[in-house]
Structures are given as structure tokens and as C-alpha cells.
Structure 1
Amino acid sequence: YKAIVDDNIAAGRVEDKNINIGLFTYPVLMAADILLFGSDVVPVGLDQQQHLEITRDVALTFNNTYGDVLTIPDAMIREEVMTIPGIDGRKMSKSYNNVIPIFAPPNQVLKPVKRIVTDSKRPEDPKDPEDCHIFAIYRHFADADAVAAKRELYLEGGLAYGAMKQELFELLEATFADKRDRYNVLMNNTDELDKILEEGSEKARAIATPIMAKVRKAVGVSA
């Protein structure tokens, strides 16, 4: 909702243009996806915490009305990965068009990396790594020693943004190249992908079916 409103304001349109019922029913669908499997802890990013709060409200309201049926979930938010920044510094999101497509061919990964927004400091100028969008992404994939060394280089000066973008690209390639290969294998072999999905659905169904039966019984709906 916020992303659409922000885009409308930026474009000079009415704030609620293109706002539809799906934006309001979707949080309920997300709540159902969590509650249907009896999840007690849900790992999420910071931006998803509100969805967990809505889910908790739904579950608490249901339990207060029909008895102790649904598990009340808690959010698990790891501080170091609670928000992944995009190339413009905002949360990485397709809605903001600021993503790095890690499963795309290398040239399509490099293109948005080169577009990461930076300030006008010269290579020899000291820089604050906490204000750099390149470093904000880099720190999620480099090891602790590399991050610490890069932080010192920022503070001392002598680091060019262009070189840092190239290093980030190479780091992303080292991290995701084999995963991209696996992704392409699956996307080109839908039979294997369908088999994996079917196995997953069977596992999910075994958990969800008894919970759904409890919900139906509680509200008086026959199976």
C-alpha cells in the first residue's frame, strides 16, 4: 500500500489511485498461511513485522471467540538481516524497482549494481560506510573479516565507488553462480520442479489438515 501511495504522490496522482481490495485482503491471506501450519515462530524481515502483528490479532480474536484453537506466533527478526537494502537505499523490493536479480545472467546482475546510488566523494576522500548503499549490500555477503577491512578502507580514504561496485558484483557472482545454475536446471525441467512441489505440498497438507479440522469444528462448519 505504502509503495503505491508513494508512487502516486511522486507522480502527482491521487494518493489512492489503483488501490484495490486485494491490498486489504492480502494480509488476511498471509495470516492464514501462517496460522494454518501452527507456526509458533516466524522468521521475517523488519518490514514484515506488521504482518505478524496482524496475524497475532487475527489468532487472538479467533481464540477469544472460539476457544484455544490457533497457535499465537511470534516474529523472529535477526538484526543483521532484518532489512536488505536496494540499489537506492530503500528496502529492496520489486515495487520500488531497486532489486538486483541474482538469478539473471551476469550482465543483468552487473547493470543494477552499476546503478547503485552514491554521493560525489572522490576516491581519496574518507567515507562513512554506514552512509554507502554499496557497503550496505556488501556486508550481507562478505565474511566478517572482509567487512571489517572494507570498513577501515572507507574511513581512511582511497576507495573508489566504481571499484567497490565491481567488487560487490564479483562477490554476488561467487555467492550465487552455482545457485543460478541450479535455478536454471529447475526452470528447464518442470517435471523435477513439479515433483519437488508435490512432495512439499504433501508435507504441508499433513500439518494443515488437522488444524483446519479443529477450526471447522470450533466454528461449527462440517467437514
Structure 2
Amino acid sequence: MTRVLTGIKPTGDLHLGNYVGAIQHILRMAEDTSQEIFFFVADYHALNTVKDAKQLRESTKRIIAAYLAFGLDPEKITLYRQSDVPEIFEITTILNAVTPKGLMNRAHAYKAAVDQNAAQGKVGEEADIGVNMGLYNYPILMTADILALNAELVPVGKDQAQHLEFARDIGGRFNHAFGETFKLPQGFISEEGAVIPGLDGRKMSKSYDNTIPLFSTASELKKLVMKKIITDTAPPEAKKDPEESTIYQLYKVFAQPEQVAEMKAGFEQGGLGYGTAKKQLLEALENHLAGPREKYEALLQQPEVLDEIMRKGAEKARAVATPMLKKVRQAIGAD
């Protein structure tokens, strides 16, 4: 079987865009029986932005509960918490010794932080304001995540190719210095889910404050859909372009094909008002989300269940990472 590694940072509550772009993708991957999938919650990566222990702890459990609520099977996917695999962090320290500073200077996350400072007139000694070593060394920890698990394939988004390039570069430098130790991973462009609009029509994003939380209560969901989705002032009888409608764009993701066709025709031919369309969207969302919402809330009331899943996942991950660390130690003469 081909070993695949992917992960997610627990940096906040999920919204509909996360479901379409990430959760559905993982669930589809799980159906491929030719792959052995390791999926981790990157809680140490999250430390670069999350500085509250309670928040990190709760966000981690919520992320795990969310994926389980939508049907992720821990018997098909090894689900674990990054912090439960200490071998990753020792390998990170070792990889530091073969990673040139110049490589880290080219990392997108670091360059973005420096560019943001420059835009505010912070240059020279002020160029690195707000940059911690966790952010700067992010690619090294990410590389250790991959190499410690001996991953063969890593799905990356179109804007994340550099992540894999760095992992191959750093792993290759170690192999050159100490002999063939790490298997260098291959990447593949992950299938991206639909980009769905937020309440204001822009891409749904926490940075725009336009999200619909994935586990909103029924009453919260109703308020968001009926009162917060922005529409134009066209009357019901007016013909409308469905592709320009936030309501329709969301509806076609969560409704049945025949229902989508009916709404599309109603907009194009005229006669379908936004109020009615919002009610139809609300019904489709509730039908899709009510079951997972109930499972999610139940799982949050059973932290011992989540902990046990994480424990078993960590055991499987460490069964790979422990011999890999031993191999690395032997290579550098620290055995």
C-alpha cells in the first residue's frame, strides 16, 4: 500500500467552506483501498498563532470530532495528534543541522510576513517584527512530519507545492551528508473542492468574517441564511443570473441535482424570489448538516472517546516513527 500523509491545523472552528474544501476530500481519499492514510492534527504548528492552552486543547478536540461526525472512519485512516509523536520533534532538531538559512528565507510564510512588515514601512531591523522561530522554521517541522512517517505521497494544494519541495530538499541534504536514510516523498495536486461564497458573496473565509459555521444550531443557521446572506433588490418576477447568486452557489453544493435544476430555472425564468430561495437553501443545509451536528455534539460530550481514538492513532504513527528515528540516530552516530 502507498502511504499518504496529510494534516490540518486546529486554529479555529470549521465553516461550510472547510467542509467542501477539506473534509469531503479526506472522506473520498479514505475510499481508496490502495492507500494507507495518516491524518494528523498539527497542534504544534498551531502554536505560531494560538497562544492559549484551553483554546488549543478545545480546537483540537473539535477538529477531531468534526471529521468523525461526517463519517471519517479511524479504522480506515490513522488519525493522530502531532504532539503525541515525540519522534517528530527529535527528527526536527536533527534536520535543523542540515538546513541552510537561505532556504528558510525563501519560505512563503516567512516572506509574506516580511512583505507585510515592509508594506507598513518596517524594514531593516524591523523587517522581522512579529516573526517567531516557529514560523521561520515551519518548513523543517513540516519536513519532519513527513519524513518521520516515511510518507510516500503528500497531497498539496496548487499554492502549496513549495512545502513538498522543501521536504525533498531537506531530506535529500540529510541523505547526501549521512547516507540514504529518508525516502523522499512525492507530491500530487490534491483535488480541490468547490470554492463557495460567504454571506457577502466573496469567498467564504474567516478573514472576511462572512462564514457560516459548520455546526451552527438550527436557529443560528436560520438567522444566518434568512437575514445575513446579501442579495440585490430584484423583485421575485425578475429574471436573475443564478451564477451571480450566493444562494444558488451554496444550494448547488448541498441540494439534490433535481432541486438545483429547479432553482436554476426559477431564477432564469423569473418568478423565484430571494426569500423563497433562502428557505429552500435553509432546508437543504439543515437536511445535510443536522445528522453530523448531532454526532458532533455527542462526541464533544465524550472526550474519552476522542482521546482513545487519538491514543490508538498515535500508537500506529509511533510504530513507524520510532524505527525511523532509530535509523536516523544510527546514521548520524548518536545510537
TM-score tier (shorter)? 0.7 to 0.9
What is the rounded CA distance, in whole Å, between the counterparts of 2:235 and 2:224 in structure 1? Answer: 21
Q: Work out which of the residue numbers 44, 58, 63 in structure 1 matches 2:166.
A: 58
**TM-score (norm. length: structure 2):** 0.52
Q: Is the CA contact 1:102–1:172 (under 8 Å) kept in the aligned structure 2?
A: no
Q: Aligned to 2:229, what secondary structure does the other structure show?
A: coil
Work out which of the residue numbers 154, 158, 162 in structure 2 matches 1:49.
158
Residue among 92, 95, 101 paired with 2:207: 95
Amino acid at match of 1:54: Q
CA displacement, residues 31-85 of structure 1 (integer Å, 9 cap, x when unaligned): 55445434444556xxx4322x122221231244233624434244435x24233
Shift of 1:177: 0.9
Q: Distance in 1 between matches of 2:153 and 2:259?
A: 32
Cα offset, 1:184, TM superposition: 0.9
Gaps of 5+ in 1: none
Q: In the aligned structure 2, how far is the partner of 1:121 from the partner of 1:165?
A: 14
How far apart are the structure 2 equivalents of 1:168 and 1:15? 46
The structure whose residues are more often strand, as a share, is 2
Q: Which residue of 1 aligns with 2:217?
A: 105
The corresponding residue for 1:156 is 269
Same amino acid, percent of matched pairs: 38
Counting only pairs closer than 5 Å after superposition, residues 48-87 of structure 1 correspond to structure 2 as 48-51=157-160, 53-67=161-175, 69-78=182-191, 81-87=193-199
Name the SS of the counterpart of 1:49 in structure 2: coil
Task: Please list the CA deviations of residues 122-160 of structure 1 after superposition, one character each: whole Å capped at 9, or x if unmatched.
Answer: 221222222111222222212223223322222112221
2:52 maps to what in 1? none
CA contact (8 A) 2:139 2:166 kept: no
The change in CA–CA distance for 1:60 and 1:191 in structure 2 (over 3 A counts) is closer
Which secondary structure state, in structure 2, belongs to the residue aligned with residue 74 of structure 1? strand
Counterparts in 2 of 1:130-209, with a 5 A limit?
130-209=243-322
Cα 1:206–1:141 shift into 2, 3 Å: farther
The number of residues matched between the two structures is 209
Distance 1:39 1:195 in 2: 24
- Give the CA RMSD over aligned residues: 3.3
Is the CA contact 1:37–1:207 (under 8 Å) kept in the aligned structure 2? Answer: yes
Q: Distance in 2 between matches of 1:139 and 1:34?
A: 36
Conservation of the 8 A alpha-carbon contact between 2:200 and 2:210: yes
Match in the other structure for 1:117 = 230
Q: Distance in 2 between matches of 1:215 and 1:20?
A: 30
CA distance in 1, matches of 2:278, 2:219: 13
Corresponding letter in the other structure for 2:301: N
Identify the structure with bigger relative contact order (alpha carbons < 8 Å, sequence gap 6+): 2
TM-superposed CA distance for 1:187, in Å, is 0.8
TM score, norm. by length of structure 1? 0.75
Aligned equivalents of 2:140 and 2:198: distance in 1? 27
Asked if 2 retains the 8 angstrom alpha-carbon contact of 1:99 and 1:112, the reply is no
Change in CA separation of 1:28 and 1:143 when aligned onto 2, cut-off 3 Å: farther
